[in-house]
Structure 1
Amino acid sequence: MRHRAAVLGSPIEHSRSPVMHNSGYRALGLDDWEYSRIEVDAAGLAATVRGADPSFVGFSVTMPGKFAALELADEVSERARLIGSANTLVRRGAGWFADNTDVDGVTGALSELFRGDLSRVTSAVIIGAGGTARPALWALADAGVTDITVLNRSDRSAELGDLVAHRGLNVTYVDFSADLLSLSRANDLIVSTVPSAGLAGHESSLGHAPILDVIYDPWPTPLTVSAASNGYPTVGGHVMLAHQAYPQFELFTGRAAPYPQMWDALLLSLAQVS
């Protein structure tokens, strides 16, 4: 029996997900599995998923469809519900289960940044308050970090309120008029969830802590260059991308993800376009 999965989004041609998932299938000898890209915007996502051939067992969902993915699901994980979006859809019987493995992506990237010792992180700054900031908040809460500063150009505290309250977080909200140099030096970690252009001119002030920057193309980013020049470790969005793909692979196939082969395939793919 043929099994298929795909990544949904728009634009989608840049997605590295097929590289990772298909390499995983090959590594495990899953010759009847295939993973592809499907170009679809948020408005068309529900029809695409509900009309999918029965051979499709799951979908990875990238922007702009993560909110629509949550809305169409018949069953939703707690973290996806509170985060407010889903990047994973898994066929369950006649319906679809939604989850958000971006949490696992952030957790995995942070584990690599701190070499498995997240107890070193007691306070953190999240730059941005959009779709990626939410799983970052969840992942930090899982790691036991309760003191978090959200740095954003506009006040999004009301939108994050339910998530913050549910996870028992102590969150302070500031904008870019704050003393960014003191802010970065006072925290154990900075997670940037915004495009590099959004930080232009602020990199030198913010580069005084370990950095997870969710951007990976182009890499390194100006923010991570600044932090590295000050002696701080950095990790990029490609690491997060891999760690969110591993649990998706396992949800789709029911098999343990072959991490080394999927990771090597991702690195090779990135090297070919750099």
Structure 2
Amino acid sequence: MVADARGATPAGPRSAAVLGSPVSHSLSPVLHGAAYRALGLEGWTYERIECDAEMLPATVEGSPAHRIGYSVTMPGKFAALQFASTVSERARIVGSANTLVRHPDGWFADCTDVDGVTGALSAFDDLSASPSAVILGVGGTARPVLAGLAEKGATRVVLASRRDNAGPAAECGRELGLDVATMLLTDLALPGEIADAEVLINTVPEPGITEIVDLVSHARRLFDVLYDPWPTSAGAVAMAAGIPVVGGDVMLLNQAFGQVELFTGMPAPRAEMADALSAALGR
């Protein structure tokens, strides 16, 4: 069932957690902990739980009564969507969920990664109202990127992949109303497409991006979904060339705002969360 839902602030202390494998590096406890302190939610806690996709249903079903929600990182995002009783429309289109919220009748799934993308794109103060984009990579992260671009008013997007496997991501983009073109990363026309686009978005993880990092030099702006260590390979090329760069830390921060609001029913304390993330990253 598709739904659009917001949680209400529960009475008494509650807990939330991030599910993933590996999960020890997750900065979600930093962000959510800062939010709970700023909101005055005494006794609220947030923890990391090592959990792969196969373990997710049993883990969530066995949640303690005080557990209000979960942040979900890889490899559990597809399993989270399948497990949920109700899902948001954007999570359905994207095909994955990074957020599970406890409701009286079950678990609601959403994809606040889309908010992360729109927040990162908004960090470019001169982006047009209908930005064109090239996305490097067609894996799971490419789909919320497409949804974020659609929310920002984009029309044409180029998906560039190592193999001829862009079909599922392209279908997602077209369902979102985007004009999607696909090409290989080795296509000789790709540098020109990058130069014409308003923003280049990298979803290819290290070390794979190092093999094609010269493509970044053609960009007008770079949004790299990676953030640690910083600068990334792509970010370093852009910075050396004077190309405006937004890193994945901005996406991480903005996706957490939506999760906090779904878990607590209160506006996210954005400044306090941003300060906590900056301190954790040493920036």
Same fold (TM over 0.5): yes
Contact 1:126–1:149 under 8 Å retained in 2: yes
Matched, 1:105 2:112: no
Q: Greater helix percent: which structure?
A: 1
Instruction: Say which of 142, 146, 150 aligns to 1:133.
Output: 142
Amino acid of the structure 2 residue aligned with 1:63: M
Q: CA deviation at 1:142?
A: 1.1
Q: Match of 2:196, as an amino acid?
A: A
Q: Percent identity?
A: 51
- What's 2:87 paired with? 76
Alpha carbons 1:207, 1:224 under 8 Å: kept = no
From 187, 206, 209, the counterpart of 1:196? 206
RMSD over aligned Cα atoms? 1.4
Q: Extract unaligned runs of 5+ from structure 2.
A: 1-11
1:260 aligns with 2:271: yes
Contact 2:34 2:272 in 1 (8 A): yes
CA-CA distance at 1:156 after TM superposition:
2.7
> Deviation at 1:202?
2.3
Deviations 1:58-79 (A, max 9, x none): 0000000000000000000011
Residues 1:234 and 2:245 aligned together: yes
TM-fit CA distance, 1:197: 1.4
CA distance in 2, matches of 1:125, 1:4: 39
Find the counterpart in structure 2 of residue 175 from structure 1: 184
- Correspondences of 1:142-221 after superposition (within 5 Å): 142-179=151-188, 180-209=190-219, 210-221=221-232
- For 1:144, what is the secondary structure of its paired residue? coil
Deviates most, 255-264 or 226-235: 226-235
Secondary structure class of the residue paired with 1:37: strand
Q: Which runs of no fewer than 5 residues in structure 1 stay unpaired?
A: none
For 1:105, the aligned partner's letter is: G
Q: How many residues align?
A: 270
**TM value normalised by structure 2:** 0.91
Once structures 1 and 2 are overlaid, which stretch shifts more, 100-109 or 179-188? 179-188
How much has 1:12 moved relative to structure 2?
0.4
TM-score w.r.t. the length of structure 1 is: 0.94
Aligned with 2:281 (options 239, 257, 270): 270
How much does 1:198 deviate?
1.2
3-state SS, counterpart of residue 200 of structure 1: helix
Query: Does the 8 Å contact 2:13/2:41 carry over to 1?
Result: no
